Amino acid sequence: MKEITGAKIVLETLKYLGVKDIFGYPGGAVIPIYDALYDFKDIRHYMARHEQGAVHSADGYARTKMVPGVCLATSGPGATNLVTGIMTAHMDSVPMLVITGQVSTSFLGKDSFQESDIIGITSPITKNNYLVRDINELPEILKEAYSLASHGRPGPVLVDIPKNIQEQKLDYIVFQELLKKEIKEIKKFKPLYEEKDILEVEKYLNSSEKPVLVVGGGVLNGDCVEEIKLLSKRLKLPVVSTLMGLGIFNKKDKGYLGMIGMHGLLEANRAVDEADLLICVGMRFDDRIVGDKNRFSPNSKKIHIEIDRAEVNKNIVVDLPIVGNAKDVLKNILSLDLKNSFEFWRDSFKRTKSTEEKSLNQIAALNVLNEILDDDYIVVTDVGQHQMFTAQHLDIKKPFQFCTSGGAGTMGYGLPAAIGAQVANPNKKVIVIVGDGGFQMNQQELILLAQYNLPVKILIFNNGALGMVKQWQELFNNKRYSSVILDINPDFVKLGNAHFVEGEKIDNLQNLNRLKEILENDKPYLLDIQMSFEHNVYPIIPAGKSYEHTIGGV
């Protein structure tokens, strides 16, 4: 009788689901799975150098390929090292299947070696998680978890598999039957709006003179870019974006004003502040967007189109919540006989343009990128000043070209996420823009570029500081720079060389012209770009404050 192990079931089920690539790090509780991987030809495994690198790589893979990313780690510290990455994916609604090994079922709850309650630890930051106790349930659980990750509002799902389950064997014919068995139907999402709610949208528009369309990452997840552009074009609306919605519109789209929020562009934030109606689609009213919730867009009615009921009225009480799939809702709105036109209001704004810089700084580097990058690139950032400079000044031309940690703000995200993005998109150029602080958090992942021949280009915006925290200490703590000065940094070029990645230091504006030649190279490359310590990112609205308290910007 032919049999199959639990470990092999994991791989065969992933293959059945269409998974081609996984990111992981081996350990004692997943040795059976790694043994099965040894001669399994249908799934490529990318060995990270830290579990956090693996989970961020799966995240970058998912965000740029629009399929769940998959990562694998052992029990105990291996599993807990994934937690930051799971939280990062959870905050930004990224579909991910996380597989962890666990001590054998007979050792559960006994403080066994490398035992951790990863189910309990990750419950608040996953859509669901499963502890497998029966090998017969393994195929169904994996299929259900993979499907659930993308269902409704996407997010991470974790499957914890004890080692003895991986080692057990199952009749192969039984496995085939279980594999083909339809999973129990995930409870279908039921829209909570009615036709009268759609008709209400028309009434709100008819009574409005200053409406603004606010787009978030839910527009990308909801596959409704075409519908949202049709709506903005038909009504001639001014449009603003959250950080996660960047790429839905670009600077060529009439009426598009850029990012809103704490580091939003002045005209974009002004539009929201002066609006009498906000049509918000697939976004959260998080504190970086809202600031002082009592002063946020104070004179506007608010329509909130959102798939997750839990997000409605969480931070801002809205006038018309429409809980449903954004694509369906927008189609219904577009079917209305809307004759409104807000061209005069839309054209009263002039999108903020990047300044021409005469010295080497973050904006100058991004201006050069704007001149040379075509439509076929992906830009990943880490978190900090460079991230906000990029969000403000880089012309992101298409959806899914921009990959960043928004809600979690995870430093150390950039490099491993870029690795995942490059694996997912081998024919595209992948650039990671990272600060000197964030780069050092997961620099060990550099070796993957050489190991797997991944031509990621690394642009370190090196200002010798934890720039964003430094900026806050400068503005709000009387320049008491506490533990933010990185005056002793590694030689990043030599560090790259040690990992078989060529690189160079750029310390003047003229040498930025080498970027085009470097980006066309088919090998990984590291640029250590020397930035001024003094250069801060503006405008900024202090935390908890409103538009009228904006500091800086033109």
Q: What is the DSSP string of 365-381?
A: HHHHHHHH--SSEEEEE
* pLDDT tens digits, one per residue of 116-134: 999 999 999 999 999 999 9
Beta strands at 169-171 and 3-5: parallel, antiparallel or unpaired: antiparallel
The residue assigned the tokens 């998974």 is: 19
* pLDDT tens digits, one per residue of 30-69: 999 999 999 999 999 999 999 999 999 999 999 999 999 9
Q: How much is the pLDDT for 220? A: 97
pLDDT band at 319 (very low <50, low <70, confident <90, very high): very high
Query: For a pLDDT cut of 70, what percent of the chain falls above it?
Result: 99
Cα–Cα distance measured from residue 115 to residue 239, given in angstroms and rounded to the nearest whole number: 50
- The pLDDT of 169-179, averaged and rounded, is 97
Q: Is the pLDDT of residue 185 over 70?
A: no
Q: Is the pLDDT of residue 554 over 70?
A: no
Mean pLDDT of the chain, nearest integer: 96
- The pLDDT of 387-411, averaged and rounded, is 97
Q: Which of the 8 DSSP states describes residue 509?
A: T
Q: Say which residues have a Cβ less than 8 Å from residue 66's Cβ, sequence separation at least 6.
A: 400
Residues with catalytic annotation? 51, 113-114, 163, 468
CA dist list (Å): 501 to 452, 463, 493: 12, 22, 8
Q: Identify which of 538, 229, 191, 155 has the alpha carbon closest to the alpha carbon of residue 398.
A: 229
Cα–Cα distance measured from residue 100 to residue 347, given in angstroms and rounded to the nearest whole number: 53
Cα–Cα distance measured from residue 283 to residue 308, given in angstroms and rounded to the nearest whole number: 10
Q: How much is the pLDDT for 157? A: 98
Q: Is the pLDDT of residue 201 over 80?
A: yes
Q: Is the pLDDT of residue 192 over 90?
A: no
CB-based burial, 364-378: b 16+ in 10 Å, e otherwise: bbbbbbeeebeeebb
Q: Say which residues have a Cβ less than 8 Å from residue 250's Cβ, sequence separation at least 6.
A: 256, 395, 396, 397, 398
CB 59 within 8 A of CB 69: yes
Q: How much is the pLDDT for 206? A: 95
- The pLDDT of 503-508, averaged and rounded, is 96
Task: Tell me the two tokens of residue 17.
Answer: 């689901």
Cα–Cα distance measured from residue 294 to residue 316, given in angstroms and rounded to the nearest whole number: 9
- Backbone φ, ψ for residue 461 (5° rounding): -85, 90
Q: Is the pLDDT of residue 188 over 90?
A: no
Q: Is the pLDDT of residue 546 over 70?
A: yes
* pLDDT tens digits, one per residue of 216-235: 999 999 999 999 999 999 99
- The pLDDT of 248-271, averaged and rounded, is 96
Could you tell me the pTM of the whole model? Answer: 0.97
Q: CB burial class (10 A; 0-12, 13-18, 19+) of residue 494? A: exposed
